C-alpha cells in the first residue's frame, strides 16, 4: 500500500511502529539527512514517521493546524518560539497552529509526526 493511501477503513487502523519505522528508506536518509513515511492520511489527519540522520535537519516551517512530535528513537532538538526543546525517546512536543519550528538531530532520530490540517476559510478540507 502506498504511504499516501493509508486511510482508516472501517472503525480501526493498527500500526506496529517498530515495523513501520523499518520502512524508512535508509538510502534516502543517508543521501538527504531526512526522510518520512506517511502512516495515515484520513481527512485532515496525517501521521508520518520521520527520521533524521546524524546531523540531519528539518528546515524552519509551519503548518496551519496543530502538530505533535513523539520521539520514537534517538534525540532531537526542536526550535520554536525563540527556544530550543531537547527531546529524547518517549518525549512529546505539541505546537499550536502556525508556530514556526525547525529541528536538528546530532545522533539521528525517528519521530511520529501528527498534523491536523485545517483548511483556510473558504478552502475545502483535504481529501484522503
Question: What is the CATH number for 110?
Answer: 2.60.120.10
- Show the domain range for 111: 33-116
DSSP label at residue 64 = S
Can you tell me the distance from the alpha carbon of 4 to that of 39, in angstroms, rounded to the nearest whole number? Answer: 8
Does residue 111 form part of some domain?
yes
Tell me, what's the pLDDT at 2? 44
Tell me, what's the pLDDT at 101? 97
Number of domains making up the chain: 1
**pLDDT beneath 70, residues of the chain:** 1-10, 15, 17-22, 119-128
Tell me, what's the pLDDT at 91? 97
What are the Cα distances from residue 6, in Å, to 21, 34, 64, 75, 95? Answer: 15, 21, 22, 27, 24
Residue with cell 499516501: 4
Tell me, what's the pLDDT at 5? 47
Contacts for 89 with CB less than 8 Å, ≥ 6 apart: 71, 72, 73, 74, 75
pTM over 0.85: no
At residue 117, the 3 state secondary structure works out as coil
Amino acid at each position: 500500500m502506498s504511504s499516501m493511501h493509508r486511510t482508516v477503513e472501517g472503525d480501526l487502523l493498527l500500526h506496529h511502529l517498530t515495523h513501520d519505522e523499518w520502512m524508512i528508506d535508509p538510502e534516502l536518509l543517508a543521501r538527504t539527512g531526512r526522510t518520512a513515511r506517511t502512516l495515515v492520511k484520513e481527512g485532515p489527519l496525517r501521521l508520518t514517521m520521520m527520521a533524521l540522520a546524524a546531523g540531519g535537519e528539518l528546515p524552519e516551517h509551519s503548518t496551519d493546524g496543530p502538530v505533535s512530535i513523539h520521539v520514537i528513537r534517538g534525540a532531537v532538538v526542536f526550535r520554536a518560539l525563540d527556544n530550543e526543546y531537547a527531546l529524547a525517546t518517549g518525549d512529546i512536543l505539541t505546537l499550536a497552529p502556525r508556530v514556526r519550528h525547525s529541528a536538528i538531530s546530532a545522533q539521528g532520530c525517528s519521530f511520529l509526526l501528527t498534523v491536523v490540517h485545517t483548511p483556510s476559510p473558504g478552502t475545502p478540507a483535504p481529501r484522503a
